[in-house]
Amino acid sequence: AVVSTQSTGDQQVQQVLNTDERGCYEASLMNIHTSVTSPQCILTGYPVLRGEVVFRNSSRVANKDDWNVYVMARKVTHSVECQDVMSYLQQTTGAPSNPSYSFQ
């Protein structure tokens, strides 16, 4: 975790940012140690470090685990928000209207 400590008067406040397996802030697309930039997940905005779902008609990708959570949420809730996400994905990536789980 990335830790920042600040003193205000007689109190110390410690802020902690979550890190990933690279040792970088978990939402950082660039690895601060190697300067390698990871692709951005179209669902979460977080870096795709492993286990990606590739959309054939674009250069976009999604984290496999996040994709599977989205597919399950869409099937279970039938929410307007999930439908909006699917409309966006269809427009930007050519994703199928009936997405399936990724086991690869």
Q: For the segment 24-66, what is each residue's pLDDT rounded down to a tens digit?
A: 999 999 999 999 999 999 999 999 999 999 888 888 999 999 9
Residue 79 and residue 16: Cα distance in Å, rounded?
34
Question: Cα 32 to the chain's mean position, in Å?
Answer: 18
The span from the first CA to the last CA of the chain, in angstroms, equals 30
Residue 83 and residue 74: Cα distance in Å, rounded?
7
| Backbone torsions φ then ψ of 82, nearest 5 degrees | -65, -35
pTM for this predicted structure = 0.78
